[in-house]
Structure 1
Amino acid sequence: MSSTPGELQAHLAGGLIPAVPVPFDSNGRFHAGAHESYLRYMSAQSIAGVAVWAHTGRGLMLDAETARHVLRDWRSALPEKTVIAGVGAKTADLNSEQATTLTVSMAETAAEIGADALLVYPPTWLREHQFCDELIIKHHLRVSQVGLPIILFYLYEAAGGISYSSTVLDDLLALPQVAGIKIATLDSVMTYQDISRQLQARHPDKLLITGEDRFLGYSLQRGARAALVGLGAVCCDLQAELIRAHLDGNTDRFLELSDAVDMLAETLFISPMEGYINRILSALVHLGVIPRSAAYDPWGPDLPANEFDKIGRILAALTTEAHVN
């Protein structure tokens, strides 16, 4: 269901877009059975679509065969939903031209498989470049020539991204293929406030998508009209209802749900932050979606047993309060 930027906005507005993980076993092998179980689980959830190949799904780490397999399966499992593909490049031994070329190639592959839109990873290789701002814009312009709608990705530098100046943001948001921007500042509320204000004042036609797992409710209050979060990979109905309650002006329900979502986020998104993918997979184990043998992230830190147990207790508490099913 490919779309124009305007159609993409209409499909996503008011919705939850989970950034979905990929299950592996303890030997780092893709767990096909758990993946299929997760596809079935998500196909029944209250979501507007999914983001595949995002950081939660280790999009820049997957081998080409697994990456294609995963995206193809999500496209097949969600024929009426929006499938967004993260695109970027690992840059250890690449110059800026090579990194952009690889990003464009990844975008072309996503388009061939059937992705509806692209989430463009921040070009972190340009952080110290003499012509950083100019090359950031050129990078996105080249990706836009693939022809799919683009979602910009503002990832605060301290969280592993690159800081876009307000001028660069204005230029990026002016690109015709850009439908909106995902903002993920992790713990910089001021940065989120500044960018959301800029969008509201100068780019009201673009969709503000929150990526703020740790202050999801507040980010909606500050103008986000959709959520693309790793947190959304579990307990989808809880977060989808939070978004609806906000848009419907149901303040009491919104505040109640926001507390519940914060409880979940403050369990899964904690230090070490790279452990959040393992925690999400652990939550899926507790929810009965995947087996424990598939709850491994080959690129993340090992988690202590007490964290696995705590995740189970929090999910049980949310279930008791009828927030999770």
Structure 2
Amino acid sequence: MPQPLRAPAPSTLPFAERLAGIHAATIVPMAGPDFAIDGPSLERHLHAVATRPGIRGLLLNGHAGENFVLDRAEKVAVIEAARRVVPAGCLIVSGVNAESSLEAAREAAAFEAAGADGLLVFPPNSWALGHDPECVVLHHRTIAAATGLPLMLYGAPVGAGAMAYDAATLRRLAGLDQVVAIKEGSWEVAQYEANLRLLTSLRPDFKVLGSGDEHLLTSYIIGSFGSQVSLAAVVPDLVVALWNAAEAGDWGAARQCHEALYPLAVAIYRDAPGGRATARIKHALHHLGAIPDPCLRPPQPPLDAGERKRVEGALRRATA
């Protein structure tokens, strides 16, 4: 497999430049009847993922990290745990996810104090039902005013309703100086390319990270500065190998990696019922022996036998 073309980014580089390559979106192990965070298991998970060759950083408190059911103190604890155990050069981005812009701003300030290098701003879930475009700009401005950290946009899947930003909204958000990149998760290739072309035409320095786990190969063919993906927390070596092959222009090798990765992406993200990715990721990590307990907080139930079988079969293929 081709060797990486980019050396590990030193921390002296600007934040946006350090987004190159593969960044793993991590989970939060939990245990016990109260579903409390399992601190030792969390530290082992973060360290194990961050120290895999080719992993350039971590996305903490993302969807895979159950950010919608953690309170602010718990999210801070996740960042602090990462700072204790990951290599010094590992980039730490934390998600900010709150329905209230005021709470999102409080999260941003707390995450900066805890040691995050940058913030990924998730759209509030209520926006899926519809919203005034002014809400989007005000939300990001409110967060920006609370922190000096660089901000990333979250490009929601096209199936997420109004949470997916249209071109006019992206134009306005790209005009905010603190916003430097997007985790582009449109989950649809044509929309990914349209957003990539729009944002880089507005700001050539803007970093677009192709981060739809099912179509990483296609994103890399079109163009991507890096990726923040939860599959990199499950099979990091395979995701890094795909990136390295694409960087080297070895599309035959990239296709081989894609063929191994694709069934796992489908089993985790596409198979019905939807919205089960975190549960399936946790089961995969538990099956690999990486975490002791695959439990996650209600209202998510555990996997049924059919889900477990599909995830385990795809995992065997990905790790063969």
Per the normalisation by structure 1, the TM-score is 0.86
Q: Secondary structure at the match of 2:237?
A: helix
1:323 corresponds in structure 2 to: none
- AA of the residue aligned to 1:273: G
- The structural deviation recorded for 1:104 is 0.5
2:174 corresponds in structure 1 to: 173
**Per-residue CA distance 1:17-76 (angstroms, 9 max, x = gap):** 111111123632322332232123113213111111111101131133322221110122
Cα distance in 2 for residues equivalent to 1:82 and 1:76: 13
1:94 corresponds in structure 2 to: none
Q: Secondary structure at the match of 1:152?
A: strand
1:52 corresponds in structure 2 to: 60
Cα distance in 2 for residues equivalent to 1:53 and 1:44: 19
- The structural deviation recorded for 1:124 is 4.5
Alignment CA distance shift 1:308-1:163 (3 Å): closer
Cα distance in 1 for residues equivalent to 2:42 and 2:158: 32
Alignment CA distance shift 1:165-1:40 (3 Å): closer
Alignment CA distance shift 1:160-1:289 (3 Å): farther
1:298 corresponds in structure 2 to: 297
Deviating more after overlay: 80-89 vs 166-175: 166-175
2:3 corresponds in structure 1 to: none
Alignment CA distance shift 1:163-1:53 (3 Å): same
- The structural deviation recorded for 1:201 is 3.1
2:90 corresponds in structure 1 to: 81
1:153-164 matches, cutoff 5 A: 153-156=154-157, 158-159=159-160, 162-164=163-165
Cα distance in 2 for residues equivalent to 1:18 and 1:104: 24
**Percent of aligned pairs with the same residue?**
28
Q: Secondary structure at the match of 1:181?
A: strand
Residue 61 of structure 1 pairs with residue 69 of structure 2: yes
Cα distance in 2 for residues equivalent to 1:251 and 1:21: 31
Cα distance in 1 for residues equivalent to 2:67 and 2:288: 24
Alignment CA distance shift 1:26-1:216 (3 Å): farther
Cα distance in 1 for residues equivalent to 2:252 and 2:276: 33
- AA of the residue aligned to 1:85: S
- AA of the residue aligned to 2:47: R
Cα distance in 2 for residues equivalent to 1:114 and 1:51: 13
Cα distance in 1 for residues equivalent to 2:226 and 2:264: 19
Alignment CA distance shift 1:211-1:162 (3 Å): same
Residue 24 of structure 1 pairs with residue 30 of structure 2: yes
- Which of 26, 40, 44 pairs up with 1:33? 40
Cα distance in 2 for residues equivalent to 1:142 and 1:118: 13
Per the normalisation by structure 2, the TM-score is 0.87
- AA of the residue aligned to 1:86: G
Cα distance in 1 for residues equivalent to 2:216 and 2:124: 25
Contact 1:154 1:161 in 2 (8 A): no
Unaligned runs of 5+ in 1: 92-98, 321-325
Contact 2:235 2:319 in 1 (8 A): no
- The structural deviation recorded for 1:9 is 2.0
Cα distance in 2 for residues equivalent to 1:201 and 1:26: 50
Deviating more after overlay: 193-202 vs 77-86: 193-202
Contact 1:210 1:219 in 2 (8 A): yes
**Per-residue CA distance 1:141-177 (angstroms, 9 max, x = gap):** 2222311011111113522661322122112112211
- The structural deviation recorded for 1:197 is 2.3
User: How many residues are aligned here?
Assistant: 305
Alignment CA distance shift 1:115-1:273 (3 Å): same
Cα distance in 2 for residues equivalent to 1:313 and 1:60: 29
Contact 2:92 2:116 in 1 (8 A): yes
Residue 285 of structure 1 pairs with residue 300 of structure 2: no
- The structural deviation recorded for 1:305 is 2.1
2:245 corresponds in structure 1 to: 245
Unaligned runs of 5+ in 2: 1-8
RMSD value, Cα: 2.3
Contact 1:159 1:185 in 2 (8 A): no
**Per-residue CA distance 1:194-233 (angstroms, 9 max, x = gap):** 2122124333211111220111111222222211112222
2:134 corresponds in structure 1 to: 134
